[in-house]
């Protein structure tokens, strides 16, 4: 899927807002493994790595923001 410049800009803003929220909330973040994500995990026989901890989630968001 290719994103337009406008879509990338909006996605980057949303990712940065999520990253700020994760930094602010820190250890109070509770990452839920939704049925959709659980279904994906079964296909790959592993859980999605960033669901394991707040630190991994924060790192994932940083990398995603840099790509945008």
pLDDT digits (tens, 9 = 90+) for 37-64: 555 555 555 567 777 778 888 898 999 9
As a whole-number percent, the residues of the chain with pLDDT over 90 amount to 28
Other CB atoms within 10 Å distance of the CB of residue 65: 16
Helix 5-25 to helix 54-67 angle, to the nearest 10 degrees? Answer: 150
Query: CB of 17 within 8 A of CB of 66?
Result: no
Write out the residue range of the structural domain in which residue 39 sits.
Answer: 5-67
CA nearest to 18, candidates 68, 66, 57? 57
Mean per-residue pLDDT, 30-38: 59
Q: In total, how many domains does the chain have?
A: 1
Give 17's pLDDT tier (boundaries 50, 70, 90). Answer: very high
């Amino acid at each position: 899927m290719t994103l337009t410049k406008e879509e990338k800009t909006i996605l980057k803003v949303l990712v940065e807002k999520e990253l700020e929220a994760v930094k602010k909330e820190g250890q109070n973040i509770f990452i839920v493994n939704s049925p959709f994500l659980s279904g994906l995990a079964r296909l790959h026989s592993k859980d999605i790595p960033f669901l394991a901890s707040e630190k991994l989630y924060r790192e994932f968001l940083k990398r995603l923001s840099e790509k945008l």
